[in-house]
Amino acid sequence: MGSVKDLTILKKPTAKKAGTGIFFFSNRYSVFDYGEMPDKIENKGSSLCLTSAYFFEELEKKGIKTHYLGLVEDGKVRKLDEIEKPVNEMQVRLFRVIKPVKKNGYDYSKFKEGMVNYLVPLEVIYRNFLPEGSSVFSRLERGELRLEDLGLKDYPTPGMMLEKPLIDFSTKLEDGDRYLSVEEAKKISGLGDKFEELVKTTKEINELITARVSEIGVRNEDGKVEFAVNEKGELTLVDAVGTLDECRFSMNGFQLSKEILRRHYRKTYWYKRLRVTKGVENWRKILGRPPNLPEELRDGVARMYQAFANEVIGKKFFDVPSLREVVKELKDLMRDSNR
């Protein structure tokens, strides 16, 4: 499936019928597009699985359709409140993945309004906050974004909260992600008049995630979602949602994401080599194996994933301290490593 999730297909999707499959959320992680890194993060997979299940179930209560069917425990498909222990398997509906033709760029002519049972070839990004280094600033400078797209009259500054979320789009099925204008996104999506529904639904997902995490002292800065069109022609949320891998969250200014791992690697010789080799043919092989994480950092990040899941769900599935305690530990660790 990928560097983080695996997929077992139980029933293949067809042109008119959804299939079914099982996502296996692994303890692997990936940074800088390298692929699987050498360490495993304990219980990362099950914490992502449970967090995503929580948000899928809450969104379905609000009438938002998803591909989620349930969690798999002891071979049975169950809802979150029925499971006794952490699990890393989720049963989902599957839809056709139709690749654009790579020809003079990419040809999306296969994606036509009225199609059913297919993955929409977009990553949809909501942005509530503009951190320093956000792509939004460079895209504004190049004229790829306009102030009105952000709902702003004046040029934004790093660290700015947006009054209204920005809904952004990038490609999903190309060799590399490419940001798209609203017009381009609508054109390649195959959604036609349903495109406005996609935007509206993304805002509703953002609102629900923001409301829940704010209750535990966490800020929802941005996140990504993916959609399919089901066999009835209905827009359907797919993949995973509301996790530390899909979203950028922060607590008291501390990033609750893989950013802490990126910061560690940016201080290594391996990263210096990556900056030179990335993009060259066979660059991963040329670059070589990344160094292992320090044990304290690896274990601290594992506790971060688990504590976040405990507090979002409101049930202590994992025997770890509170999220605030874990964040304090990680802040102290990062401060010591910078001395």
| pLDDT category of residue 82 using cuts at 50, 70 and 90 | very high
pLDDT above 90 as % of the chain:
76
| pLDDT category of residue 135 using cuts at 50, 70 and 90 | confident
Which pLDDT score, from 0 to 100, does residue 163 have? 87
Give me the mean pLDDT over the 136-145 stretch.
88
Q: Pull the structure tokens for residue 163.
A: 């009054």
For residue 176, give every residue at least 6 positions away whose Cβ sits within 8 Å of its Cβ, in sequence order, or none. Answer: none
Give me the mean pLDDT over the 71-90 stretch.
96
DSSP 188-202: HHS-GGGHHHHHHHH
Give me the mean pLDDT over the 191-202 stretch.
96
Which pLDDT score, from 0 to 100, does residue 33 have? 84
Which pLDDT score, from 0 to 100, does residue 339 have? 63
Query: In the predicted model, is pLDDT for residue 145 greater than 60?
Result: yes
Residues 251-279 have pLDDT tens digits of 998 999 888 999 999 999 999 999 999 88
| pLDDT category of residue 154 using cuts at 50, 70 and 90 | confident
Rounded-to-integer distance, Cα 164 and Cα 210, Å: 13
pLDDT above 70 as % of the chain:
99
Which pLDDT score, from 0 to 100, does residue 2 have? 65
Query: In the predicted model, is pLDDT for residue 122 greater than 60?
Result: yes
Which pLDDT score, from 0 to 100, does residue 1 have? 53
Ordered by where they begin, the domains of the chain are 5-337 (3.30.470.20)
For residue 177, give every residue at least 6 positions away whose Cβ sits within 8 Å of its Cβ, in sequence order, or none. Answer: 123, 170, 171
Give me the mean pLDDT over the 32-38 stretch.
90
Contact predicate 91/21, CB 8 Å: yes
Burial 49-66 (b: 16+ CB within 10 A, else e): bbbbbbbbbbbeeeebbb
Cβ contacts of 210-215, under 8 Å, gap ≥ 24: 210/128, 212/55, 212/58, 212/242, 212/312, 213/249, 213/312
pTM: 0.93
Which pLDDT score, from 0 to 100, does residue 258 have? 86
Rounded-to-integer distance, Cα 332 and Cα 326, Å: 10
Residues 220-236 have pLDDT tens digits of 999 999 999 999 999 99
Query: In the predicted model, is pLDDT for residue 175 greater than 90?
Result: no
